[in-house]
Amino acid sequence: MTNSRWHDNTTDEMHDTIGDKDRRFLIRVGNDYRTLEKLLTPDFEQKLPLQIDGVVVDGNHSTKFKDLRERLSGDSQVLIDHQVYRLQQASCRDHPSLVALPYAHKEREYRPEDFADDDFIKTFVQSVLNEQHKFRVTDYLAPSFFVSSPESPWLELNRRLLGETMNQVGAQVYATVCIPSNMQRNSIVIDWTINSGAAGVYLLVTPLSALTDPIPKLVQFLDLAKRLSDAGLTVIAGRQPAFGLAMMAMGVASFDAGIAQSERFNLANLVRPKRRTEAQVHPRHGAPRGIYLADLMTTVPAKVAKSILSVPSLKALLVCDELCCRGSFQSILVRPEEHFLWARAREVAAIRSDPKDWRPRRLAERVSRARQVADKIKVTLGTAAPSFEHLDRWPRVIEQISASFRVSGR
């Protein structure tokens, strides 16, 4: 059995930088928690547990994770995403796990008028925090609803919910900000968040796709995180798998990402009415949505990964020969979730191994290398190749945001 040379190195590397936990990679855990449980449990093959910065657990699945909680080390950040921003959509009734939340409305979606009474707000907040308390979270996430525009009545309600949260548990609270991407520059939202008194902010911007969005939109997202971070808030960019690495390298935010999921967040997909039950929609719990090819910095559908890896010259460039995939040429395809988590841990360790000032440039260089690999794939596969166009845009986003930080002295 391979004595995990790589594991030992990485563990040393991570311990060297243990103080560098202001920007974390948090694993978003939903139905796929067993993969993570396995990697946190050493066995004959895997000598050491996967070192992770922390987890964000979906509130509607948290009761399944009792065992997982026990395995998280003392310096892990542990958060529960309460999912309250999904409870104002009528379609929340289609999701049994949302309906089962103790703080969900018993008959329908929430409406602003439900919260007219202060006592109701108190009880609601108590119920949301109680679920987090039971899971022994390290930080509380204040309940918050999606705010579609500056005129939305939910904005004022969110303010009251955050105030009540801080009344109940003190100041070590993250505000939840769930807004459409066209509100990223809205000063009402930014000022409200900065002046809220919260210690941090869990930031959900929708829709946001690092793969397809234009440069200005991605720059705005980084800029928003930077503004909040400069104001002293600890920022977590929610559901931002690949682009989160850029945010970490720029030093503006922690980020969370589901296991081997694609690089986008769209609230509309989460609240879309379902005509089938959850079990029918997800026949295999934890079924991966893609294969993460680290040298491409991209998660691709399994079918695409297969066709790329079936070409020997491309496979030589892309195959993972780390412990996660050793022993089988096909491991990356067979155990994509495990591969993703180990690969991401290596990426985070690599960012931390560089001095902070070098990190954006190093990341841009990495994207450029990924771009070269993507070009080879295009030459070989022709029209069957994915566009990989995002690899052109990301270095420009990093460049633009770095320049704007220098100009503004931020």
| Site of interaction with Zn ion (CB under 5 A) | 320, 322, 324-325, 339
Taking the complex as a whole, how short is the minimal distance between the CB of residue 322 and Zn ion, in angstroms?
Answer: 5
Taking the complex as a whole, how short is the minimal distance between the CB of residue 296 and Zn ion, in angstroms?
Answer: 13
Query: Which of residues 200 and 290 has its CB atom nearest to Zn ion in the complex?
Result: 290
* Per-residue H/E/C for the chain: CCCCHHHHHHHHHHHHCCCCCCCCEEEEECCCHHHHHHHCCCCCCCCCCCCCCEEEEEHHHHHHHHHHHHHCCCCCEEEEECCHHHCCCHHHHHCHHHHCCCCCCCCCCCCHHHHCCHHHHHHHHHHHHHHHHHCCCCCEECCCCCCCCCCCHHHHHHHHHHHHHHHHHCCCEEEEEEEEHHHCCCHHHHHHHHCCCCCEEEEEEECEECCCCCHHHHHHHHHHHHHHHHCCCEEEECCCCCHHHHHHHHCCCEEEEECCCCCEECHHHHCCCCCCCHHHHCCCCCCCCCEEEHHHCEEECHHHHHHHHCCHHHHHHHCCCCHHHCCCCCHHHHCHHHHHHHHHHHHHHHHHHCCHHHHHHHHHHHHHHHHHHHHHHHHHHHHHCCCCCHHHHHHHHHHHHHHHHHHHCC
Query: Which of residues 339 and 359 has its CB atom nearest to Zn ion in the complex?
Result: 339
Taking the complex as a whole, how short is the minimal distance between the CB of residue 167 and Zn ion, in angstroms?
Answer: 47
Query: Which of residues 111 and 315 has its CB atom nearest to Zn ion in the complex?
Result: 315
Taking the complex as a whole, how short is the minimal distance between the CB of residue 373 and Zn ion, in angstroms?
Answer: 16
Taking the complex as a whole, how short is the minimal distance between the CB of residue 350 and Zn ion, in angstroms?
Answer: 15
Query: Which of residues 66 and 306 has its CB atom nearest to Zn ion in the complex?
Result: 306
Query: Which of residues 87 and 308 has its CB atom nearest to Zn ion in the complex?
Result: 308
Taking the complex as a whole, how short is the minimal distance between the CB of residue 189 and Zn ion, in angstroms?
Answer: 40
Query: Which of residues 45 and 70 has its CB atom nearest to Zn ion in the complex?
Result: 45
